[in-house]
Amino acid sequence: MTTLPEYLSKCGAPDDLISLITLIAAQATPIRNAFISNQNYADSKNSSGETQAEMDTWSDVHLVNILAASGLVREVASEEQEDIVKLVETAPYSVVMDPLDGSSLIKVNLCVGTIIGIYEGGCMQAGKNLKAALYLLYGPMTTITVSVGKGVAVFAMDKEGCCRMLRDNVRIPEGNLYGSGGIRTEWLEKHAKFISRIENEGAKNRYSGSFVADFHQILTYGGVYAYPPSEKQPNGKLRLVFEANPIGYLASQAGGAISNGVSSTLDIVPETVHQRTPIYVGSSGMIKKIESIE
């Protein structure tokens, strides 16, 4: 079975990008091993005002240290850090990351993940400029879903830590699963119309509370993951830089799409590191539907 570095090399990725991606993928083992002793919430809050889980900060510190030691990274923008972390000024790449997405699910042992985007140059670029994106999913298996702009492939980590290909040329089908965040009574009219329209067309609700895990399901079976705007949160909950952009890039590489309900979030140049955006991501037909509703 093709290994992760073999696949990246076949895609024509430069050697330093291959090293960076394989280094990040290898962190799935220490991160997974840390779950057992980091089960609780910490006393701290992140820049979005959310209480941090011990695993949020553990994985953030761990990944920043690893990226710093690699010498390949200029800047890191992390969901768990107030400001962009400056590393090696002359290094080729910058990393955007959600070190542990879905962290409220750690206590209940549901699937969580690490989301990564890699840019050439600095962090504050539109998602369409990403050179690579990947996520590590800590489910029954540890999997790595990756794109370097040549489609999407999924790897599973074996017990020696080697990432072996499970699926290549992944395409998001026009499926009928949906998961929507927010509270139904607080949904705005456009979102409520969209959900009722797709439900009437047979869409089935599946929502776990982990964006990365819910997206992985959509990537496989098709449908849409949404975190909509509301009166209280006009830009929804999720963040453009660490969550929407890497996942949106993977979705578009798999023939799907991402939108804020009006247009692609991949075209937005971020103004602030922690800015939020409404998210609709999944099968391209679903994204056309939400964008077509007034």
Q: Give min distance, CB of 91 to Mg ion, in A.
A: 25
Q: What element of type H or E holds 226?
A: strand 223-227
Q: Give min distance, CB of 281 to Mg ion, in A.
A: 13
The one among 98, 180, 215, 268 contacting Mg ion by CB under 5 A: 98
98 interacts with ligand AHM by CB under 6 A: yes
The one among 54, 56, 101, 214 contacting Mg ion by CB under 5 A: 101
CB under 5 to 8 A by kind: which of ligand AHM, Mg ion, none does 103 bind?
ligand AHM
237 interacts with ligand AHM by CB under 6 A: yes
**Binding string, 254-273, against Mg ion, x = CB under 5 A?**
--------------------
Crossing angle of helices 189-200 and 284-292, in 10° steps, is 130
Query: Cα–Cα distance between 221 and 32 in angstroms, integer?
Result: 26
102 interacts with ligand AHM by CB under 6 A: yes
Size of residue set near ligand AHM by CB under 6 A: 12
Dig out the tokens for 110 from the structure: 């549901």
Amino acid identity, position 78:
S
Q: Taking CB positions, which residue lies at the least distance from ligand AHM? A: 211
Crossing angle of helices 211-221 and 245-253, in 10° steps, is 10
Sheet arrangement for strand 142-147: 85-86, 73-78, 93-101, 112-120, 132-138, 142-147, 153-157, 163-167
Q: What φ, ψ does residue 238 adopt, rounded to 5°?
A: -85, 160
The binding site for Mg ion (CB under 5 A) comprises 98, 101
The binding site for ligand AHM (CB under 6 A) comprises 50, 79, 98, 101-103, 181, 209-211, 237-238
